[in-house]
């Protein structure tokens, strides 16, 4: 990690993210989202990063999904990027808040039409009686929105994780890895290196 990157975690993240975009064969923006419910039971799943800037890291989902229910009960979460081909990972922890309706509407409008239809058709994380039932719902939504734009469903939106800590991990020979942690203290970032 270059010394100039050790002052701003977002500049370092953007550089690593761009390098992952060029190197990873699929889904360079895939990240593990870890949540916990009100009782502290953890759950982790893969989601896609859709935007990142100093205000936070944004992803979108069905608001009736388990992850959304967890975040409503406990808004603390963690993200993990693992770019295997680059032998790097980035761990991010912080508080999650909903994005604005305008942000969700704007992003939803950019999604592929099939993904928009899927957002209407899926009761994410709830039992599905058969694959045919899902396909029938997709056909019904497709018929409903045969022409024109598809509005964002009221049960679909996004979240922004505002980081309180970001750790950059780079593989090194003999397991002497490079670990740099940024911690937010008020609105300033401090850094510390960790033993591997």
- Residues 27-85 pLDDT 10s: 999 999 999 999 999 999 999 999 999 999 999 999 999 999 999 999 999 999 999 99
Distances (CA, A) of 136 to 77, 118, 142: 35, 11, 10
93 inside domain: yes
Catalytic residue, candidates 175, 179, 183, 186? 175
Indicate the pTM of the whole model: 0.93
Section 169-194 average pLDDT: 95
189 inside domain: yes
Checking if the pLDDT of 3 tops 90, the result is: no
Section 98-119 average pLDDT: 98
47 inside domain: yes
- The helix or strand, by DSSP H or E, that contains position 30, with its residue range, turns out to be strand 30-36
User: Between β-strands 76-83 and 56-62, what pairing exists: parallel, antiparallel or unpaired?
Assistant: unpaired
pLDDT confidence bin for 6, thresholds 50/70/90: confident
Mean pLDDT, the chain, as a whole number? 95
Checking if the pLDDT of 110 tops 70, the result is: yes
pLDDT confidence bin for 127, thresholds 50/70/90: very high
**Residue 175 a catalytic site member:** yes
Q: Do the Cβ atoms of 143 and 135 come closer than 8 Å?
A: no
Q: Per-residue b/e over 22-59, b at no fewer than 16 CB within 10 Å?
A: eebeeebbbbebbbbeeeeeeeeeebebbbbeeebbbb
140 inside domain: no
Q: Do the Cβ atoms of 166 and 182 come closer than 8 Å?
A: yes
108 inside domain: no
183 inside domain: yes
Q: How many domains are contained in the chain?
A: 1
Q: Do the Cβ atoms of 11 and 50 come closer than 8 Å?
A: no
Please give the structure tokens belonging to residue 92. Answer: 């991010």
152 inside domain: no
Checking if the pLDDT of 5 tops 80, the result is: no
Share of the chain above pLDDT 90, in %: 93
Q: Do the Cβ atoms of 67 and 43 come closer than 8 Å?
A: yes
The C-alpha atoms of residue 170 and residue 167 are separated, in whole angstroms, by: 10
Q: Which residues pair with 48 in a beta bridge?
A: 30
Q: Which domain holds residue 26?
A: 3-100+157-194
Checking if the pLDDT of 4 tops 90, the result is: no
145 inside domain: no
CATH number assigned to the domain comprising residue 169: 2.30.110.10
The per-residue pLDDT for 24 is 93
DSSP category for residue 126: S
């Amino acid at each position: 990690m270059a010394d100039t990157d050790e002052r701003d975690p977002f500049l370092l993240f953007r550089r690593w993210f761009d390098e992952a975009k060029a190197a990873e064969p699929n889904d360079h923006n895939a990240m593990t989202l870890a949540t916990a419910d009100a009782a502290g039971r953890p759950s982790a799943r893969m989601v896609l990063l859709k935007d990142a800037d100093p205000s936070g890291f944004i992803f979108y989902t069905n608001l009736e999904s388990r992850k959304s229910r967890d975040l409503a009960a406990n808004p603390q979460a963690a993200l993990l990027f693992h770019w295997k081909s680059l032998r790097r990972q980035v761990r991010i922890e912080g508080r999650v808040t909903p994005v604005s309706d305008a942000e969700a509407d704007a992003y939803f409008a950019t999604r592929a039409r099939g993904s928009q239809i899927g957002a209407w058709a899926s009761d994410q994380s709830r039992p599905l009686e058969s694959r045919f039932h899902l396909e029938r719902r997709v056909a019904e939504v497709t018929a409903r929105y045969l022409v024109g734009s598809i509005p964002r469903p009221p049960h679909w939106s996004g979240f922004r994780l505002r980081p309180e800590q970001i750790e950059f991990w780079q593989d090194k020979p003999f397991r002497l890895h490079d670990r740099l942690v940024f911690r937010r203290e008020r609105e300033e970032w401090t850094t510390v290196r960790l033993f591997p």
